[in-house]
Copies of this chain bind each other. A is one copy, B any other.
Amino acid sequence: MADLKLKDLQYLVAVADTKHFGRAAERCFVSQPTLSAQLKKLEEYLGVQLIERAPKRVALTQAGHEIVERARRIIEAGDEIVEIARGHRDPLAGRLKLALLPTIGPYLLPNVASKLRKALPRLELMLYEYQTDTMLEKLHSGEIDVGILALPVAMDGLDSQVLYKEPFTVAVPASHRLAQRSSIRVDDLHDETLLLLEDGHCLRDQALDICSSTDIHEKQDFRATSLETLRQMVAAGVGITLLPELAGRGAYGNARGVAIRPFVKPVPSRTIGAVWRKSSARREVILALAKQVGAHAL
């Protein structure tokens, strides 16, 4: 009269996923006969056949489907327990899944990576790049733990913290008349051709917003897929673009053919923040991470 065992449910879910006893066993790190026998016991205990075993086809019964659904929830909650425990064991240790905007990641990380390693040596960062909408989805689903993006965003069930304010700069061809100026006003962009990223990048909307007060024309039939593409187009003299300050530094800023110029005050800027689930067990380490990033980003 054995009872329900977490491991058996994992075996069942593995079979549901793979439709194959051998591969399911492999995924569970047990031998195929072990998995077979345990599943048989599970079926005996429940008094219901869960799996149809045909020569070339493994499928779940109706009861199997319904039970696998709950089993997934159980296993998920079990993982949460382990995760919570890990969070309490050493709140500043463990794996943390961090996503950044594509217009932030490559330029922010070099500045803060070494500081982070020193301040949070036992933190294992998993890095991802997503645009705002995708990032929020994956935050809610639990696929990532923290997102670094431009505020404000819809905050239902989420907490956030401002990291830094990032000024915008203007990138023009080196031979452009504006390249002579040490700083630039928004009105100076009058009648210029503006190059922007493709839809979905929040940077695109931010740039359009800043330029809305002056008369500037977006280059038709052109949408860059990355800031790097944008740089090459500016260097080629096709038009100008707005760059977040961090992206204008380093190799990018020194690139041939492109001049980066600041705005005069009031400098247009965007607010970069960290966002995470209110219910996250990793709040402590996230706050520590945010503190480091906020302190060393600019």
Contact = CB atoms under 8 A, between A and B. Distances in A.
Contact size class for A?
Answer: 35 or more
29 contacts: A4-B6, A4-B78, A4-B81, A9-B81, A46-B85, A47-B86, A48-B89, A49-B281, A52-B142, A52-B280, A52-B281, A61-B88, A61-B281, A61-B282, A62-B88, A62-B95, A63-B88, A63-B94, A63-B281, A66-B88, A67-B84, A67-B85, A70-B77, A70-B78, A70-B80, A74-B74, A74-B78, A74-B81, A77-B77
Contacts of A5: 5-6
Contacts of A52: 142, 277, 279-281
A67 B71 CA distance: 18
Interface string A265-283: 0000000000001111110
B71 A81 contact: yes
A80 B62 CA distance: 15
A89 B142 contact: no
Across chains A and B, which 9 residue pairs bring their CB atoms closest together, nearest first?
A46-B85, A54-B279, A63-B88, A49-B281, A47-B89, A61-B281, A52-B279, A48-B88, A48-B85
A209 to B, nearest CB: 33
Contacts of A142: 52, 59
A7 interface: yes
Contacts of A110: none
A82 interface: yes
Contacts of A140: 57
Nearest to A97: B62
A250 interface: no
A59 B139 CA distance: 12
Interface string A58-76: 0101110011001101100
Interface string A281-295: 110000000000000
A67 B80 CA distance: 8
A281 B277 CA distance: 43
A23 to B, nearest CB: 19
B7 A66 contact: no
A98 to B, nearest CB: 14
A3 interface: yes
Counting chain B CB atoms within 10 Å of each CB, the highest count among A62, A277, A278 belongs to A62
Contacts of A61: 88, 281-282
